[in-house]
Amino acid sequence: AETRTYRIAAIPADGIGPEVIAAGLQALEALAKRDGKFSFDVTHFDWGSDRYKKTGALMPEDGPEQLKAFDAIFFGAVGAPDVPDHITLWGLRLPICQGFDQYANVRPTKILPGIQSPLEGVGPGDLDWVIVRENSEGEYSGHGGRAHRGLPEEVGTEVAIFTRVGVTRIMRYAFKLAQSRPRKFLTVVTKSNAQRHGMVMWDEIAAEVSKEFPDVTWDKMLVDAMTVRMVKNPQSLDTIVATNLHADILSDLAGALAGSLGVAPTGNIDPERRFPSMFEPIHGSAFDITGKGIANPVATFWTAAQMLEHLGEGDAAKRLMTAVEQVCADGVMTPDVGGTANTQQVTDAVCEAIRGAN
């Protein structure tokens, strides 16, 4: 029988990144063994803050070029206590996201069995969302500047850029994703009452694109009211689309409502597949627990499932998530979600569940 081989670029980088990526690769290996029809060819890149301290750069100059040949990028976390965060972020992660035009940042959130939401009476099934974050423009386009530095008349501007191309493509992505989910329901987050240019265009384009998806129901929420709805009525939401800034904030809230940062995954996706997409846990390098062996690997398993889905291995993705949910339900969890297990014990339990699954 023929075997499909996927070329994966693993960039574990800093802090707990190497610990969770190692766990993720073990789960992927177990899935490949269990399935027998696909395999992974993993190349490890030692890019990150240690490399920066030795050579002055987090990755080689032709780093993005080296990544182009891969089917996907599996990323840990970047950031070190003794290197400024804007250097680590702009030296590794952002050049990949922006250079590969990964314009859809997809952030699924749900309450896994056995994990406690801070919301009273809200359990698995009550909160099952996917937030689609515009990942290439908006408030984080880097457009702006400062003048008269240090003087009393100093000014700083930070201009939000919305383009018809950029808004249309993220709306299309979000409507399509909503259409693929059972509820076929999309909430478009906006702030078009106060921001009467870019955000009004955002709303208009949402209405235009909605006509291409007559079977998708959609509504519109102002971002401030959206925070209330997320807390008070989580059952009323399903797929959500928001700007770069709005989704950045809303997805942290979503992660907290689902129980922990240690379980939240994300995919930075180029839907046109011109370039490899990048999959990573949402959390950072977590200096406070680095090397202790207790990092929660669930966010990394979940993002590995996103990666499998992107590669067309939907059955393997489901098998992985079923295994993760079973292990959480059995109470094999790390301390951040109230358990006593370490990273390796959770990983072993997930691999065991993968082997045992039908």
Which residues of the shown chain bind ligand NAI in the complex (CB under 6 A)?
16, 20, 77-79, 85, 93, 261-262, 280, 283-289, 295-296, 299, 334, 336
Q: Using CB distances below 5 to 8 A depending on partner kind, what does residue 248 bind out of Mg ion, ligand NAI, none?
A: Mg ion
Q: Using CB distances below 5 to 8 A depending on partner kind, what does residue 147 bind out of ligand NAI, Mg ion, none?
A: none
Nearest to 304 by CA among 285, 284, 324: 324
Smallest distance, Å, CB 99 to Mg ion?
A: 20
Which is closer to ligand NAI, CB of 136 or CB of 192? 136
Q: Using CB distances below 5 to 8 A depending on partner kind, what does residue 102 bind out of Mg ion, ligand NAI, none?
A: none
Smallest distance, Å, CB 216 to ligand NAI?
A: 31
Which is closer to Mg ion, CB of 248 or CB of 336? 248
Smallest distance, Å, CB 19 to ligand NAI?
A: 8
Alpha helices in 100-243 (DSSP H): 164-180, 198-210, 223-232
Q: State the Cα–Cα distance between residues 308 and 314, nearest whole angstrom.
A: 6
Which is closer to ligand NAI, CB of 32 or CB of 307? 307
Smallest distance, Å, CB 171 to Mg ion?
A: 22
Residue 77, SS3?
strand
Which is closer to ligand NAI, CB of 75 or CB of 129? 75
Are residues 184 and 192 in contact, defined by beta-carbon separation less than 8 angstroms? no
Q: Using CB distances below 5 to 8 A depending on partner kind, what does residue 262 bind out of ligand NAI, Mg ion, none?
A: ligand NAI
Q: How far is CA 330 from CA 121, 122, 173, 242, 349, in A?
A: 20, 19, 36, 35, 10
- Distance separating the N- and C-terminal Cα atoms of the chain: 20
Output the six-digit token pair for 179. Answer: 């259409």
Beta-sheet pairing, 155-161 with 138-147: antiparallel
Q: State the Cα–Cα distance between residues 138 and 134, nearest whole angstrom.
A: 8
Which is closer to Mg ion, CB of 191 or CB of 319? 191
| Residues within the interface to Mg ion (CB under 5 A) | 248
